[in-house]
Amino acid sequence: METNTDNLRMVQGQIKPINGMTEKLVSIFNSLNREDFMPEEFKESAYVEKNLALINHRVILKPELVAKIAMHIGLKENENVLILGSTTGYLTAVLSLIAETVIVVEEDDCYIKSSESATKENNLNNVIYINKSISNGCTEQSPFNAIIIEGAVDHVPQKLLNQLEKNGRLIAIVSENGLCNAKMFTRKETMFHSKQLFPCSLPVLPSFKEKNIFSF
């Protein structure tokens, strides 16, 4: 597939300069046209340096944020990953070119249909889409080497952390006191450790607005 000039310019300007970015990831972003994973009404905004708001507090993550998540999750070729709330499937596509299997749980049927279409057009054959609530994860396919919540949450449910493999990790954008930070949660036997990765700004996903809050 021939990559367009706008996509190459996006990678050079927004992704390659990220501190710690690998050559492998840069190559993957170069090989995928971001425009392919955008709804028709957003295609002209495919390469802008900002998050794009959808309905119901859903967001298309800006290229830099997608790249930072992909970099920090550090997937290996023999690993599986669960993505919760994939919207248009761009992060899914990026990680499918690294992971052995990508499981996507998305509760919006329209997002699944558009993502599946773009996935097939790009010949990505290791992605499985499941249409159900994103807040419960996917116990039937667990445990996972990695889990990513593609949107902000005000807490990380224990039931999601329990779906991690030993030494598995989960990345979530956690909103606390009006501020959002990407955090990495790592499983060590029956214990879980967390560390802050970087600040960002996203709306909290409605599915994760619950009273039972799990924190460290």
Which residues of the chain fall below pLDDT 70? 1-3, 210-216
214: amino acid identity, one letter: F
- Please give the model's pTM, rounded to 2 decimal places: 0.93
Q: Which pLDDT does position 74 carry in this prediction?
A: 96
**Angle (CA) 86 188 93, round 5°:** 20
- Looking at domain 5-208, its CATH architecture is 3-Layer(aba) Sandwich (3.40)
pLDDT in tens, 175-190: 988 899 999 999 998 8
Q: Given 3-state DSSP classes, what are the helix, strand and coil percentages for the chain, each rounded to the nearest 5? A: 35, 30, 35
Give residue limits of the domains in the chain. 5-208
